[in-house]
Amino acid sequence: MIRVKEVNVIGANGEPLGVFPIYQALSLAQETNLDLVEVAPTANPPVCRIMDYGKFKYKQSKREHEARKNQKVVHVKEVKFRPNTDQHDFEFKIKHVQRFLEAGDKAKVQIFFKGREILHREHGEKVLQRIVEATEEYGMIEQTPKQEGRALVMVLAPKGKKKTPAKQEMTEN
């Protein structure tokens, strides 16, 4: 599938063999029962390597699988407030936001306005400020408050992971 006249060939052990016409490079690969794989198509002349292509693809998929396994998935949890949320309900919902941030997830906080409440946006901004103050040790503002339709939306991101007291006691003893 290589469509150039000459290629720079690298041997199976990684040693450079030099520049060869494509038919000669293919015959070198066939002599060793390996494949000629183009590894740098933008180079001049393109660089090809003599290798076992199946083994190369297998190792590449293993590397990608390991990279995906070590990846941390961050979820965005949503909590809705109203501009006139009572104190007990506010504290109850704040506990949810704190729990989400402690777990390493982001928290999307919405202040939803009904009817003519939208005229008094400052009430919603005060609620958001109270939320920021209540969760400042668990998270920080990732997205500042902005208007989305009839709602004010803000995203909080977790700060850092903290050790739980039970784990700290086990390490001290």
131-161 pLDDT, tens digit per residue, is 999 999 999 999 999 999 999 999 999 987 5
Mean pLDDT of the chain: 87
Confidence class for position 69, pLDDT limits 50, 70, 90: confident
DSSP string covering 71-130: PPP--EEEEEE-TT--HHHHHHHHHHHHHHHHTT-EEEEEEE--GGGGG-HHHHHHHHHH
Q: Is the pLDDT of residue 99 over 50?
A: yes
Q: Is the pLDDT of residue 164 over 60?
A: no
Instruction: Provide φ and ψ at 78, rounded to 5°.
Output: -115, 135
Q: Is the pLDDT of residue 166 over 90?
A: no
- Rg of the chain's alpha carbons, rounded to an integer? 30
Q: What is the pLDDT of residue 43?
A: 87
Q: What is the pLDDT of residue 41?
A: 87
What does the chain come to in residues? Answer: 173
> What are the structural domains, with CATH classification, of the chain?
6-54 (3.10.20.80), 76-160 (3.30.110.10)
Starting from the edge strand earliest in sequence, which strands make up the sheet with 6-10, in order? Answer: 16-21, 6-10, 47-51, 35-40
pTM of the model: 0.54
Report yes or no: 27 and 35 within 8 Å, Cβ to Cβ: no
Q: What is the pLDDT of residue 161?
A: 57
Q: What are the distances in angstroms from CA 133 to CA 16, 70, 71, 130?
A: 63, 33, 31, 5
